[in-house]
């Protein structure tokens, strides 16, 4: 591993006797050698130690390209470390040899760990061979991927403690990074660099990892024990080059970044984050309140690229609707922060319908809910609505849960019971009669009840004559004896028909009803 003279200086055990140190990293060197006693050509890839105090015998121009470690009585080189005479000994040479060996051993150990496909945390823990500082890898959303262990960072930085517990950067810090321009600066560097205090309340060194010229991840080395050093930069640069293969092997994971709020939203919707105060803390950075009122739009990714939901989100923001988009599981999701206002909700639904028609897609819009903490419940309900409705209707693109929510209720009921168990026996009998005699009595009774027992309205819906409708109802009443004046029985029969419709249209594996 090539090392700079500045790194060598930072890692020497007796810096008190040093009079002159390099101000810039300068070239990188392959190793160290003793300066020969008689002048000869020197290799610019090596650092020379003037143990015999013979550097004055060399042409002064030699030191324009060659690094020299010597005493103040010797010829000064451009790239040099100069010691007081009484501090200069053979031990300096041994220390430098040890530094090169230690960093070389570390680099090889990291390569072997990556070849053996060791967990990333094990790879990072090897950095203990060359630094005491905490080394930390994130994806572009600043989502924590792995860090060296153990670390005292949790005792020093509340930001780190939050990341270690929940895996992502607090949104107020992200907002600060965005507003200050620090995040843009972080993403602009090719090689390792050092910044002061924003990201962790401590100075840090950062190295971006690129795959095929696309930035995929960040390496951070947090300065706990000393200010940011050249050592940290060189460790981060080498680690950044070595981790490219690991990230290519896991590119789908490292590509899952999107916008910086997304991992927080995923943790809430998956149920991994339920702490009320922590959620409110995150939401306050985007001026949302946990009990401010919300609604969800969910669409399956299928052939829709990730950019589709971003386009929708930007479109909604242009119409002055507060919303955030993200991906979760196989779905594209938009969370709307909206009051319980029928006009606003209706306007959102109109825009969603227009968007879905344009993109030839289908999606579900949840019921309005008060607490952000309930997002998980309404997300699962919206998924049920999509899975059912896309199979039963081709003339709608947006399925509004208030219109189709009954089927979510039915699906839940059929998870532990069959339709035969829960349906009115007369409805099962009517279905069997239709199947054997090619009649349409079940649909006739359904429309009759849906139309509040209005024969004329039901006949129009079925496109039949009123007399035909009356005849059918007489036949139905002969087949199933029920008191249509009793509201409980009437509701039970209507619910039973809904259950049968669900079973038939979803091809539900329910006994022999198919």
Task: For the chain, give every domain's residue range.
Answer: 3-98, 120-255, 262-411, 419-505
**What was the pLDDT predicted at 511?**
46
Nearest to 45 by CA among 75, 16, 3: 3
The tokens describing 95, both together, are 């220390």
The tokens describing 64, both together, are 């324009």
Range name among 84-93, 213-222, 224-233, 461-470 with the lowest pLDDT average: 84-93
pLDDT of residue 41 exceeding 80: yes
Name the CATH superfamily, with its identifier, for domain 120-255: GAF domain (3.30.450.40)
Q: What is the pLDDT of residues 359-418, one digit of tens each?
A: 888 899 999 999 999 999 999 989 988 887 776 666 788 999 888 778 778 877 888 888
pLDDT of residue 158 exceeding 70: yes
**What was the pLDDT predicted at 15?**
64
pTM, whole model, 2 decimals?
0.65
**What was the pLDDT predicted at 351?**
92
Domain 262-411 in the same topology as domain 120-255 = no
Contacts of 297 (CB under 8 A, 6+ apart): 312, 333, 334, 336, 348, 352, 363, 364, 365, 366, 382
**What was the pLDDT predicted at 508?**
58
Quick check: 59 and 39 in contact, CB under 8 A?
A: yes
- Give yes or no for a cis peptide into 150 (omega within 30° of 0): yes
Cα(435)–Cα(148) distance, integer angstroms: 67
Nearest to 410 by CA among 376, 444, 381: 381
Cα(502)–Cα(424) distance, integer angstroms: 15
* End-to-end CA, the chain: 70
Cα(116)–Cα(501) distance, integer angstroms: 55
In CATH, what is the architecture of 262-411? 2-Layer Sandwich (3.30)
Q: Taking the CA atoms of the chain, what radius of gyration do you get in angstroms?
A: 35
pLDDT of residue 190 exceeding 70: yes
pLDDT of residue 259 exceeding 70: no
């Amino acid at each position: 591993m090539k090392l700079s003279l500045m790194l060598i200086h930072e890692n020497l055990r007796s810096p008190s006797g040093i009079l002159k140190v390099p101000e810039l990293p300068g070239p990188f060197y392959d190793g160290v050698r003793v300066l020969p006693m008689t002048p000869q050509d020197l290799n610019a890839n090596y650092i020379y130690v003037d143990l015999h105090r013979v550097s004055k015998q060399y042409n002064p121009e030699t030191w324009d390209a060659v690094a020299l470690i010597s005493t103040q009585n010797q010829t000064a080189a451009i790239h040099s470390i100069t010691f007081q005479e009484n501090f200069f000994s053979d031990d300096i040479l041994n220390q430098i040899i040890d530094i090169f060996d230690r960093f070389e051993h570390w680099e090889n150990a990291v390569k072997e760990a990556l070849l053996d496909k060791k967990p990333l945390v094990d790879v990072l823990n090897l950095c203990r061979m060359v630094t005491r500082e905490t080394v930390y890898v994130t994806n572009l959303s600043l989502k924590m991927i792995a860090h060296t262990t153990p670390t005292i960072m949790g005792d020093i930085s509340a930001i780190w403690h939050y990341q270690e517990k929940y895996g992502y950067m607090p949104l107020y810090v992200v907002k600060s990074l965005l507003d200050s321009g620090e995040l843009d600066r972080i993403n602009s560097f090719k090689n390792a660099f050092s910044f002061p205090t924003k990201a962790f309340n401590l100075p840090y060194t950062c190295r971006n990892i690129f795959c095929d010229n696309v930035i995929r991840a960040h390496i951070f080395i947090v300065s706990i024990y000393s200010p940011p050093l050249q050592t940290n930069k060189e460790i981060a640069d080498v680690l950044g080059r070595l981790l490219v293969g690991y990230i290519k092997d896991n590119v789908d994971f490292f590509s899952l970044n999107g916008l910086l709020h997304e991992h927080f939203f995923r943790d809430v919707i998956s149920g991994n984050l339920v702490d009320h105060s922590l959620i409110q803390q995150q939401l306050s950075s985007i001026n949302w309140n946990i009990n401010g009122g919300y609604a969800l739009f969910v669409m399956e990714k299928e052939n829709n690229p990730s950019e589709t939901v971003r386009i929708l989100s930007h479109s909604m923001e242009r119409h002055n609707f507060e919303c955030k988009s993200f991906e979760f599981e196989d779905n594209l999701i938009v969370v709307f922060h909206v009051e319980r206002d029928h006009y606003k909700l209706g306007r959102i639904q109109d825009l969603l319908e227009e968007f879905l028609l344009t993109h030839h897609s289908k999606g579900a819009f949840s019921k309005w809910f008060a607490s952000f903490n309930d997002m998980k419940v309404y997300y699962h309900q919206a998924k049920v609505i999509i899975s059912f409705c896309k199979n039963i209707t081709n003339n709608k693109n947006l399925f509004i849960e208030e219109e189709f929510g009954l089927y979510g209720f039915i699906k839940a009921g059929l998870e532990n019971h069959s339709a035969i168990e829960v349906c009115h026996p007369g409805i099962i009998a009517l279905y069997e009669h239709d199947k054997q005699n090619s009649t349409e009595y079940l649909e006739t009774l359904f429309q009759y009840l849906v139309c509040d027992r209005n024969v004329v309205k039901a006949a129009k819906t079925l496109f039949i004559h009123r007399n035909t409708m009356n005849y059918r109802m007489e036949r139905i009443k002969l087949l199933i004896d029920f008191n249509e004046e009793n509201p409980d029985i009437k509701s039970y029969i209507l619910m039973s028909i809904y259950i049968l419709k669900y079973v038939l249209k979803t091809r539900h594996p329910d006994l022999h009803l198919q």
